[in-house]
Chains A and B, each alone.
Chain A
């Protein structure tokens, strides 16, 4: 039987590990979640990414949001960061494309060229 203090310590440890995972992750997926992104459907895009990552049990990827990137007409925007690689920005992402980004870019390590808006 675990005590309340044990549980609290375990919870703190899990939280610390999660916030420290930044350096250990291979990929960072960023969904632009400004007013423009949200109005264009960014919430469903992010939900699809989270769901796909859970289904595929991917551990080395972080998903986070950011504000407006300044290309409101291309929303929803999704960026994929990888160390020592150019940032890949996908434009007009639908939940279906978001799932493909996880399957093909993150798992398959192949960029979805036809969906790329910017690479720099």
Chain B
């Protein structure tokens, strides 16, 4: 994957397929620690210890349409080749957390890329899941809550898709804010 935000979309799709109703995505870009950290936490059905051990093996998947599952393996590989860490924790019936850490200035690290499109796609396409996106840098943090869209719809009496466009602008402005220095 060319962008880390594409991995985020991919891993969040796992949460949706695991019947999660809440997905929290945290991206931390900390120059002070030379660290880029991505965390996805869901309240989906979770997985057994056995599955947790095997799941980053590309030839393990729960899917029936094909027998290889690349998503988590690719994400893990992306982190490890950047001097990073990868950790998956899960409890059956409670949910799953995926943590990937990258050395921020590693030459192998893909850029975060268009995280805004990743979030808008997730939020607009999966209404029954409550998404939270938190982005933190040394200069600040912001949080986007997918309920924001319903708030705008009600407040301004606009369509769902129009509210989605406003959400995109909102995220863009906030990303600019947390990425500006000082």
Contacts and interface: CB of A to CB of B under 8 A. Distances in A.
Nearest to B165: A54
Interface stretch (A38-46, A86-94, A112-120): A38-46
B154 interface: yes
Interface in A35-93: 35-36, 38-39, 43-44, 46-47, 50-51, 53-54, 57-59, 63-65, 67-70, 72
B32 interface: no
Nearest to B63: A68
Interface string B145-157: 0010011011100
Secondary structure class of chain B's binding surface, majority of residues? helix
Contacts of B170: none
A18 B125 contact: no
A46 B1 contact: no
Contact of A67 (B17, B124, B155): B17
A64 to B, nearest CB: 5
Interface residues of A, number: 35
Interface stretch (B47-55, B91-99, B113-121, B135-143): B113-121
B117 A47 contact: yes
A34 B13 contact: yes
Contacts of B128: 19
